[in-house]
C-alpha cells in the first residue's frame, strides 16, 4: 500500500509540473486553494484596518495561537510597504514574482516598514489575520473600544534592505545573505522564540536529497517517478519568512519558515 501511495504522489507531482509548464506552480496552488475564499482589502490610509464582506475590521495587537485557527474564510495575500504614519505606499501580491520585488518595496521613498498580510480566519464573531507569521485578533470597527491595543505595525515591520537572503543554488539547504552562508538545521523553533522579522524568500525549491542540488523543471521531468531507481530521492521545501531568534544574534543564527515550520539556520 505504501509503495502505491509513493508512486501516486510522484506521478501527481510530475503531472502538475507538466500541466503548469510556463507558469508558476506556487501561484497556481495559491489560486486553487483560495478560490472559494473572500478577498479582503487593507485601508490604504491606515494599515491597521481592512474590510471583509463589506464590514470594517480593526487589527489588534493581541496575538492568538495557531491552535485557535478554525475556518479559513478570506485572504489579503499582499506584501505591503508603509510609511511612518501607517499609510500604505505600495502593495505587492505575494506570488512567485515577489522574490525580486520585495527589495524594491523597501527601497521606495518614505517606506519605513514592510509587512506581509496573508490569510484571514473566522473566530466566532471576530477574525484572525496572519501578519508576518503571527496571528492577530481582529474585531469589527463598530465594536472597538479604547481599552483595546491596536496592531503596532512599527513593532512587526522591517524595511532593512541590508538583508538579502536567498537560496544557495549549489545547496538548497543553505541560505546566503550577502557573503554569509547559513545552514538549515533540523532544530524546530516555537513561535515564542522568534524575534524581529528580517526578510522573506517566498520560493519553492525541489532538490536531490543526495547532493542537495536544486532541480530544474527539465530535470524534474526526467526523474524516475515510478520509483524503479531506488537511488532517486527528492525533497520539496517552501521557503517563507526569516526572523531573528530571541537572545541569539542574527549573525550567528536565524529562524526560517519551511513547509509551515520554523527551523534554525546556523552560520557556516
pLDDT recorded at residue 13: 39
Block residue for cell numbers 534554525:
264
Query: Number of structural domains, the chain?
Result: 2
**Chain segment 155-203, per-residue pLDDT in tens:** 877 655 445 788 998 999 999 987 889 999 999 999 889 988 788 787 8
- Judgement on whether residues 87 and 56 belong to the same structural domain of the protein: yes
Residues 180 and 255 placed together within one structural domain of the fold: yes
CATH at 258:
2.170.150.60
Of 156, 186, 209, the residue that ends a domain is 156
Co-location of 40 and 151 in the same domain: yes
- Are 150 and 257 members of one domain? no
Q: 73 with 126: CB under 8 angstroms?
A: no
Longest dimension (CA), the chain: 65
Other Cβ atoms closer than 10 A to 40: 22
Alpha helices (H) along the chain: 2-19, 25-33, 98-107, 153-156, 217-221
Question: Model confidence over 54-83: pLDDT tens digits?
Answer: 999 999 999 988 776 889 999 999 888 899
Q: How far apart are CA 97 and CA 133, in angstroms?
A: 20
Domain that holds residue 188: 162-267
Same domain, 38 and 150: yes
pTM value? 0.55
The verdict on 64 and 96 lying in the same domain is: yes
Amino acid at each position: 500500500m505504501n509503495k502505491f501511495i509513493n508512486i501516486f504522489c510522484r506521478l501527481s507531482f510530475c503531472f502538475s509540473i507538466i500541466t503548469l509548464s510556463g507558469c508558476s506552480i506556487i501561484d497556481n496552488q495559491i489560486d486553487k486553494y483560495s478560490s472559494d475564499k473572500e478577498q479582503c482589502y487593507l485601508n490604504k490610509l491606515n494599515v491597521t484596518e481592512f474590510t471583509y464582506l463589506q464590514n470594517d475590521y480593526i487589527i489588534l495587537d493581541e496575538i492568538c495561537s495557531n491552535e485557535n485557527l478554525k475556518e479559513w474564510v478570506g485572504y489579503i495575500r499582499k506584501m505591503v510597504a508603509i510609511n511612518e504614519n501607517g499609510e500604505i505606499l505600495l502593495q505587492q501580491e505575494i506570488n512567485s514574482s515577489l522574490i525580486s520585488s520585495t527589495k524594491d518595496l523597501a527601497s521606495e521613498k518614505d517606506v519605513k516598514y514592510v509587512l506581509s498580510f496573508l490569510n484571514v480566519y473566522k473566530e466566532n464573531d471576530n477574525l484572525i489575520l496572519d501578519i508576518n507569521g503571527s496571528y492577530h485578533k481582529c474585531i469589527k470597527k463598530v465594536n472597538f473600544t479604547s481599552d483595546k491595543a491596536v496592531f503596532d505595525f512599527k513593532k512587526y515591520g522591517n524595511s532593512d534592505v541590508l538583508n538579502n537572503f536567498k537560496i544557495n543554488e549549489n545547496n538548497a539547504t543553505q541560505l546566503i545573505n550577502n557573503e554569509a552562508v547559513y545552514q538549515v538545521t533540523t532544530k524546530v523553533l516555537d513561535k515564542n522564540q522568534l524575534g524581529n522579522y528580517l526578510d522573506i524568500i517566498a520560493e519553492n525549491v525541489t532538490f536531490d536529497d543526495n547532493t542537495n542540488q536544486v532541480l530544474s523543471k527539465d530535470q524534474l521531468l526526467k526523474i524516475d517517478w515510478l520509483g524503479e531507481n531506488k537511488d532517486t530521492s527528492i525533497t520539496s521545501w517552501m521557503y517563507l519568512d526569516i526572523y531573528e531568534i530571541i537572545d541569539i544574534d542574527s549573525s550567528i543564527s536565524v529562524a526560517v519558515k519551511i513547509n509551515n515550520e520554523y527551523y534554525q539556520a546556523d552560520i557556516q
